[in-house]
Amino acid sequence: MEIETKNIKQPNLKDRFKTEEYMINMGPQHPATHGVLRLILTIDGEIIKKVEPDLGYIHRSIEKMCERDSYQQIVHLTDRMDYLSSHINNEAVSLAVEKALQLEIPDRVKVIRTIIAELTRIASHTLWWGVFGMDIGALTTYFYGFRDREMINDIFEETCGARLTMNYNKPGGLMFDIHPNFVNRVKDFVAHFKTKLPEYDRLLTGNIIFQKRTKGIGFLTKEDAISFGTTGPVSRGSGVASDIRKIHPYSAYERVDFKQPLYHEGDNLARYKVRIDEMWESLSIIEQLIDNIPEGDYQVPTKAVIKLPKGEYYQRVETARGELGVYINSEGNKNPYRVKFRSPGFSNLSVLNHISVGSKIGDLVAIMATLDLVIPDIDR
């Protein structure tokens, strides 16, 4: 018996190889999310259609806790937020309280704060550089980055007593004066790091595999960078001059001469180059300040119980990730009525869906690494 094949409808080739969208779950326990971020990915084959971040896996209710704490205690909570720029977070709260109290801060405090803030920025960027390399498959960078970071941690430990969460700032100045070795050790570090930073370029920047993984991927236009509210190296990689140190100088940034690195490509490589250049600029800021730390007190005496006058206060600083804003609403009590942190990571995360749609799933890891997210900073 013959089968009549004529009447059987042949599926056309497009239907036969049709693909379907499906969803996968990335995180919260995933090595490339740098913490406990959960991403719900809608993908078609290997192409990303949608990225939906799910937050709250490290929500520690810091803002609510601030309402029960005194102003000195708030400082201690902030360095658990963005722990990689803990000193700068402390500085933001201290500056906000000092602004409200209209305290005159000694020059010595301003200069020391600036030097340590720039050391923190270098420490944060070296860690980012090491982990970025690791994310895209180059494990060696991890060891190089941590080698230099360890030197900065030793400096911090000698002066502040802690390696990571330093709590060196307080409203009205610093906890204690710098260690006698501080100046020499910082000079040693600057000399050491100047020889090591070109090594970073030799090891990773020119690498052909690295270039292919970063060039033209994760493209963010200048208009989008502004409308999504990105700050820090993410926006500067798209050509937006957003450095708070230039726009609203605080501490000792008025008296130093530095550039803000700008790149207009808007891709992963541009954001990478911004951070490498920022490390050079930080070194130059430290060099300008380290030789002439003014003499004077390291703190102004404040009352044991600080009561801010009734009103609203806002202070913005530039952390290693972008603009951190501290909003304090005071009713005249020893506790604030409301504290809000405008964290750089949250706005930078909002751009993730926009720039990763259409790229491969492997590139998502590289894109997330160049956004340099710190999840406790986002969740707070």
Residue with tokens 């004077």: 296
Q: Does 337 bind other proteins (CB under 8 A)?
A: no
Q: Does 24 bind other proteins (CB under 8 A)?
A: no
Q: Which is nearer to other proteins, 21 or 67 (CB)?
A: 67
Q: What is the DSSP letter of 204?
A: I
Helices (H), 50-106: 62-66, 71-78, 86-101
From 40, 58, 175, 300, residue interacting with other proteins (rule: CB under 8 A): 58
What is the rounded (10 degree) CA torsion for 318, 319, 323, 328? -90
Note the Cα 312 to chain centre separation in Å: 26
Q: Are residues 320 and 349 in contact, defined by beta-carbon separation less than 8 angstroms? A: no
Q: Does 102 bind other proteins (CB under 8 A)?
A: no
From 22, 44, 46, 60, residue interacting with other proteins (rule: CB under 8 A): 60
CB 30 to other proteins: min, Å: 7
Q: Which is nearer to other proteins, 296 or 362 (CB)?
A: 362
Question: What three-state secondary structure class fits 40?
Answer: strand
How many positions of this chain bind other proteins (CB under 8 A)? 36
Residues facing residue 48 across a β-bridge: 43
Question: What three-state secondary structure class fits 49?
Answer: strand
Q: Does 59 bind other proteins (CB under 8 A)?
A: yes
Q: Does 163 bind other proteins (CB under 8 A)?
A: yes
Alpha-carbon span 56 to 174, nearest angstrom: 33
Q: Please count the other Cβ atoms lying within 10 Å of the Cβ belonging to residue 242.
A: 23
CB 341 to other proteins: min, Å: 15
Task: Convert residues 71-90 into a mask of x (bound to other proteins by CB under 8 A) and - (unbound).
Answer: -----xx--x--xx------
CB 84 to other proteins: min, Å: 7
Site for other proteins, rule CB under 8 A? 28-31, 35-36, 56-61, 64-65, 68-69, 76-77, 80, 83-84, 127, 131, 142-143, 146-147, 149-150, 153, 162-165, 375-376
